[in-house]
């Protein structure tokens, strides 16, 4: 497995998604974001330039009918997004996606992986993340059933985001990213047994309200790292 990182004061998650997707999908393709959130700051580089019916990609029914597919013609990428709230193209739970098999070339999975949340963060609130979320509860976002469902709708790559955490936050109890987010990969036969790459995005420190704690007398590193693992879907695999 290869390791790399994105370190810059000015580097945003939007920059990272663009860099990684252009690297792994240089010829473009369909990108699916099942946890887009309200502001959808990760994919602002894919501006809405036209609308295309999702009939080919999805089995969507209900009053919304045909959802909107975002794309930026110059980039050759088509973007589909959903969430538990009506903030994307359609509402969907990652455990049961209303999508056809292998409809996306890549899926970007970014669940609420922090043990705390900012009261002003509507995305975390929508997922029910609160001050008491435990490592066990966070690991449920990365269950084998969820990864299997993501593999069902994905042709090539699944990008999984998470982070190293301390829990409770003002202790030295350390839970690494691979333990939290990648514990189920080997259980999903549609995926390669190991991630093909892992990227350290940036560190989270006292400036970020999601991770702001006074450590008092606890001696440990203050920073924790946000990471992205790249999972490869086996060719021809159907979940």
CATH number, domain with residue 112: 3.40.50.150
CA dist., res. 17 & res. 12, Å (int): 9
Confidence of residue 93 (pLDDT cuts 50, 70, 90): very high
pLDDT tens string 43-61: 888 754 333 434 445 554 4
Question: Nearest-CA neighbor of 89 among 78, 97, 80, 101?
Answer: 80
For residue 239, tell me if it sits in a domain.
no
The runs of H, that is alpha helices, within the chain are 13-24, 122-126, 135-139, 144-153, 177-181
Domain hosting 203: range is: 2-232
For residue 237, tell me if it sits in a domain.
no
For residue 30, tell me if it sits in a domain.
yes
pLDDT tens string 210-234: 344 455 555 655 567 788 999 999 9
Question: Nearest-CA neighbor of 161 among 143, 138, 181, 147?
Answer: 181
For residue 85, tell me if it sits in a domain.
yes
Confidence of residue 186 (pLDDT cuts 50, 70, 90): very high
For residue 177, tell me if it sits in a domain.
yes
pLDDT of 77 reads 85
pLDDT of 74 reads 46
The residue with greater pLDDT, 141 or 4, is 141
| Tally of domains within the chain | 1
For residue 238, tell me if it sits in a domain.
no
For residue 191, tell me if it sits in a domain.
yes
For residue 204, tell me if it sits in a domain.
yes
Least confident of 31-45, 138-152, 208-222: 208-222
Q: Going by DSSP bridges, is the β-strand pair 90-91/224-232 parallel, antiparallel, or unpaired?
A: unpaired
């Amino acid at each position: 497995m290869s390791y790399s990182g994105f370190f810059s004061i000015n580097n945003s998650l939007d920059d990272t998604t663009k860099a990684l997707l252009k690297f792994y999908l240089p010829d473009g393709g369909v990108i699916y974001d099942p946890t887009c959130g309200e502001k959808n700051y990760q994919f602002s580089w894919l501006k809405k330039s036209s609308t295309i019916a999702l009939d080919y990609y999805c089995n969507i029914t209900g009053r919304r009918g045909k959802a909107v597919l975002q794309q930026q013609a110059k980039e050759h990428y088509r973007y589909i997004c959903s969430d538990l709230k009506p903030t994307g193209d359609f509402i969907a739970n990652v455990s049961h996606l209303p999508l056809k098999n292998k409809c996306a070339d890549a899926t970007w999975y970014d669940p609420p992986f922090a043990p705390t949340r900012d009261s002003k963060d509507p995305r975390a609130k929508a997922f029910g993340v609160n001050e008491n979320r435990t490592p066990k509860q966070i690991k449920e976002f990365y269950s084998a059933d969820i990864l299997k469902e993501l593999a069902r709708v994905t042709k090539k790559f699944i990008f999984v985001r998470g982070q190293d955490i301390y829990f409770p936050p003002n202790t030295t109890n350390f839970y690494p990213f691979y333990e939290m987010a990648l514990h189920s990969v080997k259980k999903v036969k549609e995926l390669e047994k190991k991630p093909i790459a892992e990227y350290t995005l940036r560190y989270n420190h006292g400036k970020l309200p999601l991770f702001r704690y006074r450590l008092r007398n606890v001696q440990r590193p203050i920073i924790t790292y946000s990471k992205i693992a790249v999972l490869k879907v086996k060719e021809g695999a159907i979940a």
